[in-house]
Structure 1
């Protein structure tokens, strides 16, 4: 006898929570529509009704994850603390917690899928832009307070985040010999040099 399919109270949110839980437990390779449906006690067709494709499930899970992290990022950028301390906290928040960090697994997978699915780029760029704006705000605060040397804050953000993206990719895929703390140190070394911060 077929198992009864249950009705979800908050279908989209519950699906996204389940997708992130599946990625956290088993990685992206194990995330299938059938597996997600089993986890939720519903059907694959029900999931596709809300998202349309696995690409959209992944993209919306990434958006959901970033939306949950954004208030924490804005809080650390705006807190009453020295600008360099806030910048170090930003770098720490940006980088993966370690190999197979589920949020970063999603970022890397979505990046790779934009080659074949260009429409994913718009949402990816929108999510990335939030990190850019908060970093620009942080550096502008530091410049205004006299803690940082005047600089092109937009260009600094682009360069620092490109560095962090490269470091993050190596961390999340588990490149041998990679050390998260040393990467964070490299990023802050670049910031110190560019912004003329006393070490």
Structure 2
């Protein structure tokens, strides 16, 4: 992750990585078979760490809305060239030509993010903190919105910094979920 942050994945070579970790590029290729596999495993490792953070935030006290905002905060990149999002972008780009197994592993990562969000939305709906929505459908749409905005932040698109994006998402959540009035 440090090398991806410093150089970007396009300049990450097996030889340079091997030198940094004290292994030959041949040893790296023995364990990872390809740069794509190395990047995918690094993404899985990074997502495991984020998954543990998500689990902590989803089980903490507070309203579903507060936890939803924490989920969004964790989801959106810290800024231009955020290493986790830079890695995502590279893996997505390479997945066009990847084996089915690699795409299945990406889908498993996406599925974990999705399930956590669905559970949080379902809780908010059941407690009448959110307007009645289909949690699965709303989660799919919200994640698409977050992915699109996150790409803008990660690539450094002018006029789309993290604070602006978080403001847009909060506004979307206010408009879409609101608060259901009790009869």
With the shorter chain as reference, the TM-score category is over 0.9
Match of 1:166 among 148, 171, 174: 148
Match of 2:93 in 1: 112
Cα distance, 1:114 vs structure 2: 1.0
Larger Rg belongs to: 1
CA distance in 1, matches of 2:155, 2:128: 39
Q: Structure 2: any 5+ residue segments left out of the alignment? A: none
If asked which structure has higher relative contact order (CA below 8 Å, sep 6+), I would say 2
CA distance in 1, matches of 2:22, 2:92: 30
User: What does 1:8-87 align with in structure 2 at a 5 Å threshold?
Assistant: 20-87=1-68
Deviating beyond 4 angstroms after TM superposition, the runs of 4 or more aligned structure 1 residues are: none
CA distance in 2, matches of 1:149, 1:187: 16
More helix by share: 2
Pair 1:135 & 2:117 matched: yes
Q: Matched residue pairs, number?
A: 179
CA distance in 2, matches of 1:117, 1:131: 21
Q: Structure 1: any 5+ residue segments left out of the alignment? A: 1-19
Cα RMSD over matched residues? 1.3
TM-score, scaled relative to structure 2 = 0.93
